[in-house]
Amino acid sequence: MCAEVQNTKNGDAGRSQVGVVLYLDFDGVLHHDEVYWSHKQGIHIRAPGRRLFEWAEILEEILAPYSEVSIVLATSWVRVKSYEFAKKQLSPTLRNMVIGATFHRREMNKFVFENTARGEQIYADVKRRQPTAWLAVDNDDVGWPSHCRSNLIKTDDELGLSDPNIQVEIRTRLTKLTAVKV
C-alpha cells in the first residue's frame, strides 16, 4: 500500500496533489558515505579520492526523461545545516525539481526527528504530502516499515549512484511509476 497513497482529506484542505516523488539522501547516494561536519573543516569527505556530489550528474541523467518527478530531500544535511543550504548543493537542474524536505525546522521536534528511523521519517512525509507514487534512494535501510520496503532502492555506502545496477533499478522503477496514470 506504500507505493501509492490515496489523496484523502486529512485536515490538509487546499494542498494540491503531488505526483511522483523521489526521496533523496545525499551521503552514500550522491557521493561516498564517509562525510562529516566539524566547525573547523565544515562538511568534508574522508574517503581518499572521493569528492562531494561526484555522482549528482548521474542522477540528473537518470531523471532527465521524467519531468513529472519531484525530489524531496531526505538527508541529514537539511537537519544539520538547513533546507536551503542542502538544496543549493545540487545542480540547478536538480534544485528545480526539489519541492521540500522530510525535516521541517519550524514544524518538527529536532530530537524526535533525529531519533526516528529514516524510513519512518520518509513515510511520515508520504502521509503528509500524499504523492501519487514514491520511491526512496538511500543507503540506510535500518528501521524501514515493512510495508514500505518495496519503495526503497538501497545503495552501497561506497558506490552510491555509481553502481550501474542501481542506475538500472532506478530507471526501471521510475518508468513503472510514471506510467501509472491517476
Chain center to CA of 26: 8
| Averaged pLDDT for residues 115-139 | 94
β-strands 69-73, 42-45 pairing: unpaired
How many Å from the N-terminal Cα to the C-terminal Cα in the chain? 15
Residue 18 has a pLDDT of: 87
> DSSP 3-state assignment of 55?
coil
- Residue-wise pLDDT tens digits, 41-100: 889 999 999 999 999 999 999 999 999 999 999 999 999 899 999 999 999 999 999 999
Q: Choose between 38 and 126: higher pLDDT.
A: 126
Is the confidence at residue 104, as pLDDT, over 80?
A: yes
How many residues would you count in the chain? 182
* Contact call for residues 141 and 119 (beta carbons, < 8 A): yes
Is the confidence at residue 112, as pLDDT, over 80?
A: yes
Is the confidence at residue 11, as pLDDT, over 50?
A: no
| Residue spans of alpha helices (H) in the chain | 56-63, 76-80, 83-88, 92-95, 110-114, 118-129, 164-179
Please give the model's pTM, rounded to 2 decimal places: 0.88
Domains of the chain, first to last: 18-179 (3.40.50.1000)
